Amino acid sequence: MKTPRALVIILLFTLLMAGCGPQNTVEQVSDSGVHEYALKTSISSSGMQFVGDGGSIAGQTNPTLTAKVGDTIHITLTNGDGSLHDFTAPDFNAKSSQILGMGKTTDFSFKVDKAGTFAYFCSTQGHRQAGMEGKIVVSGGAAAANAAAPSPVPASGEQMSMAAVQPAATDLVDIVRDPADVPAPLGNRAPTTVQVNLEAKEVSGLLADGTTFTYWTFNGQVPGPFLRVRVGDTVEVHLKNAAGSSMSHSVDFHAVTGPGGGAVYTSTAPGQETMFTFQALNPGLFVYHCATPMVAEHIANGMYGMILVEPEGGLPTVDREFYVMQGEIYTAGAFGQKGQQADSVQKLLDEKPEYFVFNGAVGALTTQKPLKASVGQTVRIFFGVGGPNFISSFHVIGEIMDRVYELGSLTSAPLTNVQTVMVPPGGATVVEFKLQVPGRYILVDHALARMQRGLAGYLMVDGPAAPEIINGTPMPGSGH
């Protein structure tokens, strides 16, 4: 009996000693106190994360990294989603190189010289707020009694205030979508297969006089292209992400029946292309938008548009059709501040936009590309709210909407003789009215203080006067 017991003891001792030898773990500590950690970036339905890449922290989201005062931490960071990332630990003045593109890696080391709990995160705009933040716990040393709190998320405009405001960008593109850029009605055709080509582009555009902004767009303009199909069509969606993008992008169609509105099939890294198909089952006017975390940031920066699913037989004939969308822009600088403005994630989270805009910019539908029509014509406005946060009370000053297809429902009886229509974020409406008097008609959100932050559009109507409908002497100072 003693011999087997001795063998068991020897075997257990042997296994225990083997366990003390080198292991296949992410963290390996050398005799010189160097801690080796490997992390991989990830985007999922819950947001953006660092993920432990093997060994003891394999699969852990934003794993806690540990060390002792005086040790060195060595980070190997791999890009697992294609977006622009880095690893930043400001309490140790540590920041990796940026990595852009699936599979790209960077590695670097830094010494931890004080005890406490400290934050590490990705410093790309919005990524920390979207979930890319973990902890570094450093033990030992005299500073342990004064453990530091994690570094706070920068407040509104803090990142901009740390350096001089950048000059306005000069490599500008025209980001304003012409409201007349609407495909022709489909008529009474049979269902077919329709190919839709979208490209996510991050471009510099003119936000206001002297103020530029980096927009995230579909096809280079805000809103994205107006898409027109009919109920029963099979829609084949191709989404490219420009090679120069800093972010992954996707598209969620409110017209889609299926997971994520198609977003689960279109998470697209820079330089890549994805594709999916869906059948347009329900007629109506629907919003589409980017659905990559942080979703609200992608929308606020310009990634929204609309798709019209015509009912069988199409819509009633009108003379002019227009495409208008309302959005909010959250800049680090105050409204009207000149120069190149960064977006402010904190203001976005606080729901405090600096700008309200139609079709992407201040003056987009006034001085740049107003709507134009003539007396006697019937106009139809496809109106939607990209948002991402504020309801619109859409109103055309000086007109009564003859017909309103509330919430974009084309198969319900329209409301008639409507003054103002409410449209929620991610919602739409269709309004129609006949023009009887020439002049300038102002498109507004009747939360009228928003006009002071850029929200106005013009419908310019030419034709003969109609004194039998309205007559008088225009007075200065009316603003209309």
How would DSSP label each residue in 188-224?
Answer: SPPP-EEEEEEEEEEEEEEEETTEEEEEEEETTBBS-
Measured CA to CA, the distance from residue 200 to residue 249 in angstroms comes to: 7
Q: CB neighbours of 65 closer than 8 A, spacing ≥ 6?
A: 27, 35, 37, 73, 120, 134, 135, 136, 137
Mean pLDDT of 140-167: 53
Measured CA to CA, the distance from residue 364 to residue 207 in angstroms comes to: 9
Q: Give the C-alpha distances (Å, rounded to integers) separating 357 from 300, 406, 454.
A: 11, 22, 6
Q: Give the C-alpha distances (Å, rounded to integers) separating 408 from 253, 257, 385, 412.
A: 14, 17, 12, 9
Report residue 415 as tokens: 């409301």
Predicted local distance difference test score (pLDDT) of residue 147:
47
pLDDT at 413 over 50: yes
pLDDT at 183 over 60: yes
Measured CA to CA, the distance from residue 228 to residue 313 in angstroms comes to: 14
Burial 387-406 (b: 16+ CB within 10 A, else e): bbbbebbbbbeebebbbbbb
Least confident of 13-27, 54-68, 180-194, 453-467: 13-27
Cβ atoms of residues 306 and 285 within 8 Å: yes
Band of pLDDT at residue 168, cut at 50, 70 and 90: very high
Measured CA to CA, the distance from residue 340 to residue 366 in angstroms comes to: 22
* Residue with the two structure tokens 């976005």: 348
CATH 2.60.40.420 fits 26-146, yes or no: yes
Predicted local distance difference test score (pLDDT) of residue 152:
56
Q: What is the 3-state secondary structure (H, E, C) of 124-141?
A: CCCCCCCCCEEEEEEECC
pLDDT at 159 over 50: no
Q: Give the C-alpha distances (Å, rounded to integers) separating 160 from 125, 176, 229, 282, 334.
A: 12, 26, 43, 45, 11
**For residue range 45-73, what is the model confidence (pLDDT) as tens digits?**
778 899 999 878 889 999 999 999 999 99
Q: Which secondary-structure segment (H or E) carries 13?
A: helix 2-19
Mean pLDDT of 291-306: 95
High-pLDDT (> 70) share of the chain, %: 88
Band of pLDDT at residue 21, cut at 50, 70 and 90: very low
pLDDT at 106 over 70: yes
**For residue range 205-241, what is the model confidence (pLDDT) as tens digits?**
999 999 999 999 999 999 999 999 999 999 999 999 9
Phi, psi torsion values for 211, nearest 5 degrees? -120, 125
Predicted local distance difference test score (pLDDT) of residue 9:
43
High-pLDDT (> 90) share of the chain, %: 79
More confident residue, 275 or 155: 275
Mean pLDDT of 416-423: 98
Mean pLDDT of 327-346: 96
pLDDT at 303 over 50: yes
CATH 2.60.40.420-classified regions of the chain: 26-146, 193-462
Predicted local distance difference test score (pLDDT) of residue 142:
53
Q: CB neighbours of 301 closer than 8 A, spacing ≥ 6?
A: 214, 215, 216, 329, 343
CATH of 193-462, one of 2.60.40.420, 3.30.2080.10, 3.40.50.300, 3.20.20.70: 2.60.40.420
Q: What is the pTM of this model?
A: 0.84
Under DSSP, is residue 448 helix (H, G, I), strand (E, B) or coil? helix
ω into residue 223 within 30 of 0, thus cis?
Answer: yes
Predicted local distance difference test score (pLDDT) of residue 383:
99
Counting every residue written for the chain, the total comes to 480
Least confident of 118-127, 159-168, 207-216, 454-463: 159-168
Phi, psi torsion values for 221, nearest 5 degrees? -140, 165
Measured CA to CA, the distance from residue 64 to residue 117 in angstroms comes to: 10
Cβ atoms of residues 302 and 217 within 8 Å: yes
Cβ atoms of residues 432 and 380 within 8 Å: yes
ω into residue 167 within 30 of 0, thus cis?
Answer: no
Predicted local distance difference test score (pLDDT) of residue 280:
98
More confident residue, 171 or 16: 171
Predicted local distance difference test score (pLDDT) of residue 158:
44
Task: Give the residue among 205, 192, 224, 207 at the shortest CA–CA distance from 303.
Answer: 224
Burial 310-337 (b: 16+ CB within 10 A, else e): beeeebeebebbbbbbbbbbbbbbebeb
Mean pLDDT of 439-461: 98
Band of pLDDT at residue 28, cut at 50, 70 and 90: low
Band of pLDDT at residue 165, cut at 50, 70 and 90: confident
Measured CA to CA, the distance from residue 250 to residue 269 in angstroms comes to: 9
pLDDT at 100 over 90: no
Distance of CA 318 to the CA centre of its chain: 34
Q: Which secondary-structure segment (H or E) carries 89?
A: strand 88-89
Measured CA to CA, the distance from residue 199 to residue 30 in angstroms comes to: 48
Average model confidence (pLDDT) across the chain: 89
**For residue range 369-381, what is the model confidence (pLDDT) as tens digits?**
999 999 999 999 9
Report residue 160 as tokens: 């901009």
Greatest mean pLDDT among 44-48, 129-133, 365-369 lies in 365-369
Measured CA to CA, the distance from residue 29 to residue 204 in angstroms comes to: 46
Task: Give the residue among 269, 333, 304, 310 at the shortest CA–CA distance from 410.
Answer: 310
Mean pLDDT of 168-190: 96
